[in-house]
Structures are given as C-alpha cells and as structure tokens.
Amino acid sequence: MTPTRLELIGNEVALVWNDGTEQYISMEQLRAASPSAENTGERDLLGKKIGGTDQKHFPGVTVKDWRMVGGYAIQFDFSDGHNTGLYTFDYLRALNGV
C-alpha cells in the first residue's frame, strides 16, 4: 500500500491510501510513535538498550511539514524540533489498525 494523498487537518494527519482507505492519525500520537532511535533507543552488540526516551505523551505537538522518503516512508517535522523518524507505509497503516 502507498499513500496517494496526505493532508494536515487540524491536529490530525489525514492519509488516503491507493486502495481508497482513509486514515486519520492525531499528531500527538504520531509523535509518540516515532520509530527513531532518539525515541526508541538502539541496541548494542549484546542487546543492551542505549538511549531512547520513556516519554509517551507529547501534548500540543503538531506536524509542521513532511516529505516522502524513497517509495517506502514519510518523514515528519514536528513543532518540538523532532524530525528523525522514518515512518514506513506499513508502520503508518498499523498505527491505528487500518
């Protein structure tokens, strides 16, 4: 599945997928779900988690901009300065069960 349209509407990101499905994700939820190493941390060779954050709520954070990455992901620029997460299309669709 690939998105054919993306719009920022109020506090939500609206996506239309190539199968016609519409999806709405709150910007705060999108920020909390960032798959970036800054958010989730990284694992060393022994599997020990390094970095990341336990923060799960980002009240008032909005999406300021976005860009397609290759043919597989979207990168969002958030109002708190975060912009390192690459949201694959499969990951986005799974966020709220679409």
Task: Look up residue 61 and give its amino acid.
Answer: V
Mean pLDDT value across the chain: 89
For residue range 56-68, what is the model confidence (pLDDT) as tens digits?
A: 778 999 999 999 9
For residue range 34-43, what is the model confidence (pLDDT) as tens digits?
A: 987 666 666 7
Residue 98 has pLDDT above 60, yes or no: no
Neighbouring residues of 87: CB distance < 8 A, sequence distance ≥ 6? 30, 34, 35, 73, 74, 75, 76
Task: Please give the domain boundaries of the chain with CATH numbers for all domains.
Answer: 3-37+62-95 (3.30.2020.30)
